């Protein structure tokens, strides 16, 4: 019996003993799913196109750029063996129109580094490359997603050689070394509340009084975490409707996008409606704005 098959058999015996409904049983199932032959098969099955799943359809963005960022992958299929797995939600690509709207509202992009934490297959990195950032970096815990993101950004770089270089790092978003004291951080509901707080505190401490960070949170399910932190103030809050060509490639017709700011006092003023309240309409999954 091969090493992989022995590990699968051992894992199944433990699941049978513990039961798959309990936390320990589910943890062993996730470990089985992460094993090479099992993971490749499950990953391929999950990425098969489903007519009734808007995330599974090939997004127009992928057609435009010649990349593959479409699909929905549950957290258990992204298990890496790290303690950070407990904070992951799932993979689904952000809608480009939402991120573009947020980035257009920010000053000084040419002096800032764009940082996508939980970058998935790299869709947000490619959107950021449309803007004049000083640098663009994505961090992804799942090695499978990080490999896909790496292929995607290389494809775009080959076709658009004058754009800012994009890099992808496989690793824990809570441990990332920040590349600058001028940051634009992006999350698309990538993590649970505890990790959002950890990241937000690290960002604020890193930029301090001499730097500046804008924290873009699309579908801000845990936005209350940033609202409660004295280091952050609201910059903007908007419900961004998807561009017509994007509709039908996500579960709704738009997303709530809230931006917070930390660091030195800025000269530009926040949007007049930046303080709009966040309402959770689907616990753990969907945020709206008052």
Degrees to nearest 5, angle at CA 87 with 83 and 88: 110
pLDDT (tens digit, 9 = 90+) per residue, 211-265? 999 999 999 999 999 999 999 999 999 999 999 999 998 878 999 999 999 998 7
Cβ atoms of residues 257 and 218 within 8 Å:
yes
Q: Residue 18: phi, psi to the nearest 5?
A: -90, -25
User: Distance between CA 143 and CA 226 in Å, rounded?
Assistant: 29
pLDDT (tens digit, 9 = 90+) per residue, 14-73? 545 544 445 554 554 555 555 455 444 554 544 544 556 777 789 999 999 999 999 888
Q: What is the CA radius of gyration of the chain?
A: 19
Structure tokens of 221?
């399910």
Could you give the C-alpha distances from 50 to 47, 57, 261, 281, in angstroms and in order? Answer: 9, 7, 39, 26
Q: Is 280 helix (H, G, I), strand (E, B) or coil?
A: strand
Looking at the DSSP bridge assignments, the partners of residue 288 are 279
- The DSSP 8-state label assigned to residue 95 in this structure reads P
pLDDT (tens digit, 9 = 90+) per residue, 170-199? 999 999 999 999 999 999 998 999 999 999
H-only helix segments in the chain? 3-18, 23-34, 36-46, 60-65, 96-104, 123-128, 143-159, 193-207, 223-227
Strands 113-117 and 286-289: unpaired
Q: Is 128 helix (H, G, I), strand (E, B) or coil?
A: helix
């Amino acid at each position: 019996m091969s090493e992989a098959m022995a590990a699968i058999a051992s894992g199944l015996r433990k699941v049978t003993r513990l039961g798959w409904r309990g936390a320990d049983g589910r943890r062993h199932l996730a470990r089985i799913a992460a094993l090479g032959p099992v993971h490749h098969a499950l990953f391929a099955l999950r990425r098969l196109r489903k007519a009734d799943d808007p995330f599974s359809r090939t997004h127009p963005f992928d057609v435009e750029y010649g990349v593959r960022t479409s699909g929905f992958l549950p957290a258990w299929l992204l298990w890496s063996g790290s303690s950070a797995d407990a904070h992951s939600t799932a993979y689904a690509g952000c809608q480009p129109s939402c991120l573009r709207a947020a980035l257009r509202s920010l000053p000084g992009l040419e002096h800032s580094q764009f940082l996508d934490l939980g970058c998935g297959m790299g869709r947000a990195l490619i959107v950021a490359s449309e803007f004049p950032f000083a640098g663009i970096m994505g961090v992804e815990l799942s090695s499978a997603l990080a490999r896909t993101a790496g292929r995607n950004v290389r494809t775009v770089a080959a076709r658009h050689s004058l754009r800012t270089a994009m890099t992808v790092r496989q690793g824990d978003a809570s441990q990332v070394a920040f590349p600058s004291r001028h940051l634009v951080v992006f999350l698309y509901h990538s993590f649970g509340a505890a990790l959002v707080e950890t990241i937000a505190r690290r960002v604020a401490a890193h930029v301090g009084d001499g730097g500046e960070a804008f924290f873009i949170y699309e579908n801000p399910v845990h936005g209350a975490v940033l609202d409660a932190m004295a280091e952050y103030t609201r910059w903007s809050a908007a419900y961004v409707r998807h561009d017509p060509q994007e509709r039908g490639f996500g579960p709704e017709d738009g997303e709530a996008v809230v931006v917070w700011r930390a660091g030195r006092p800025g000269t530009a003023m926040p949007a007049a409606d930046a303080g709009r309240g966040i309402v959770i309409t689907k616990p753990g999954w969907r945020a709206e704005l008052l």
